[in-house]
Amino acid sequence: MTIFSGLVDMFSGIIRLGTRVSADPPSAGSNSSGEPINENSVLALSTAWACINLVAGTIATLPVMVYRKVPGGRKVATDHWLYRILHDDPNADQTEVDFWEYMCVSLELRGNAYAEKLRGSSGQIVGLDPIPPGIVSCRRRDDGVLEYRWTWNGQSHRETSDNVLHIRGFGGDPLGGLSPLAAGAETFGHARALNRTSGSVMRNAMLPSGVYQTANKITADQVREIEDRLALKYQGAANAGRPMVIGHDLKWQQLTMSPGDLEMLESRNFSVEELCRLYGVPPHMVGHTAGNTQLGSSITEQTRGFSMFTLRRRVKRIEAALRKQLLAPRDIAEGIIIEINLEGLLRGAPAERSAFYNAGLQNGWFTINEVRALENMPPVEGGDVPRMQMQNMPITMTAAPATISATAPAQ
């Protein structure tokens, strides 16, 4: 291979048709505000930080379970090799929460999450090592196989989909999901521009609460004397409410914010709602409650909607990627299932958790020992038998049909 052909092969992942480079070019993040848009600038926005932290942190703390189908249901497959990797120990450096939070943050910022499949001497996958999404390029080779290239710590990698776990974000493109940094560049840029403008106003503007005015001319020494007397006698909470007597025919004039300043503050509130809309997070969950009506829905309903729509679709996307890219045909034939347990959200809601268990116990789709296992409690004797209330019986088992008396009521 000549040097020229080697260079062509090295850069073919960028110049040939059908290549997706996850590292967005500068033009992809351009916006009318002229603000630079990247991971650091977006996370510097408190609303974006709170939204990404909430979504990624919540999903990362949900247990990733591996089940095996058994007659009449399924059970946790703790003996399967994937259970340890997905549920407990993905690699030598990260906990399962660290790993999944990194992957979810990658999805929320870049629209793609990558991890190299670490294999043992026998070829078995023994771990998952995350790859920064901004350095990965993906292309489809002539033979139809997806190929991933990246350079990390001075070492170049070229791997196929057999050795790379690729979780795609919104968009559905086989080469990668849409980048929120690029798609939301205008929203991010507007929010950063407002922050920069308000910071400049606070840094350069004079913001006294009011002024003392007089028609008489007073000297600089008199001005200093008045200011010193006011500070000495009336400054501090202990002096609040003391009467004030000032000469020189001074009159107090309250200063208020200009309409332009008020409009700028209102625009900042709007940018908070725009960022929450971009990530599908109810504003109250990131500390923004101003004007939070949302068609009259309650806080509880909004929070439930966050779990049902925002979290569920992200969880489903991760589950599908893990099932498609990690399970072998033999695993599928054995009935192995990968599922992120959304019931983990009930740990922070004891009242809802109790109602959920109670409904299962009363209607027979939970046993006492199954509930105790979910609460990390040991089983009890006789707790494996499903129960249900006596009045819940088939209609065919009821007594003879009741007769209706046609006798007129006594007068």
Q: Residue 353: what pLDDT?
A: 74
Question: Which residue type, as a one-letter code, is found at position 52?
Answer: I
Q: So what's the pLDDT on residue 398?
A: 55
Pairing of strands 64-70, 336-340: antiparallel
Upper half-sphere CA count for residue 400 (Cβ side, 13 Å): 2
pLDDT at 88: 92
How would residue 195 be classed by pLDDT, with cut points 50, 70 and 90? confident
Q: Is the per-residue pLDDT at 66 higher than 90?
A: yes
Q: What is the pLDDT of residue 18?
A: 41
The rounded distance, in Å, linking the Cα atoms of 51 and 191 is 14
- Contact (CB, 8 A) for 152 and 136: no
What is the layout of strands, in order, in the sheet containing 146-152?
19-21, 137-140, 146-152, 155-160
Segment among 111-120, 135-144, 273-282, 299-308 with least mean pLDDT: 299-308
* Nearest-5° Cα angle at 228, 225 to 234: 130
Q: Which of 35-49, 77-91, 259-273, 278-292 has the lowest mean pLDDT?
A: 259-273
pLDDT on residue 302:
65
Give me the mean pLDDT over the 354-373 stretch: 82
Q: Nearest-5° angle of CA 123, CA 128, CA 132? A: 130
> Which amino acid does the sequence have at 284?
H
pLDDT at 332 over 60: yes
Closest by CA position to 322, among listed 304, 296, 340: 340
Check pLDDT > 50 for residue 74.
yes
Q: At what angle do helices 46-60 and 259-279 cross, to 10 degrees?
A: 20
pLDDT at residue 10 in the model: 44
Of 22-26, 100-104, 167-171, 293-297, the range with the lowest mean pLDDT is 22-26
pTM: 0.69
Domain boundaries, the chain: 9-206+257-344, 209-254, 349-392
Report how far residue 253's alpha carbon sits from residue 325's, in angstroms, rounded to the nearest whole number.
70
Task: Provide the Cα torsion 295, 301, 305, 306; round to 10°.
Answer: 100
**Cα 37 to Cα 159: distance, rounded to the nearest angstrom:** 29
Position 107 scores a pLDDT of 95
How many CA within 13 A on the CB side of residue 217? 0
Distance CA 399, CA 384 (A): 31
Greatest alpha-carbon span in the chain:
114
**Structure confidence at residue 410 (pLDDT):** 53
Identify the pLDDT of residue 288: 65
Residue 139 has pLDDT above 60, yes or no: yes
- Residue 4: per-residue pLDDT: 47
Give dist(CA 123, CA 163) in Å, integer: 11
Task: Kindly report, residue by residue over 9-27, the tens digit of the pLDDT.
Answer: 444 433 333 444 444 444 4
- pLDDT of residue 330 exceeding 90, the answer is yes
The pLDDT of residue 129 is above 70: yes
Amino acid 252 reads: W
Q: For residue 212, give every residue at least 6 positions away whose Cβ sits within 8 Å of its Cβ, in sequence order, or none.
A: 226, 246, 250, 251, 252, 253
Residue 403 has pLDDT above 60, yes or no: no
In which band, very low, low, confident or very high, does the pLDDT at 375 lie, cut at 50, 70 and 90? confident
What is the pLDDT at residue 13?
A: 37
Q: Which residue has the higher pLDDT, 50 or 387?
A: 50
Higher pLDDT, 233 or 329: 329
DSSP labels, 300-315:
HHHHHHIIIIIIHHHH
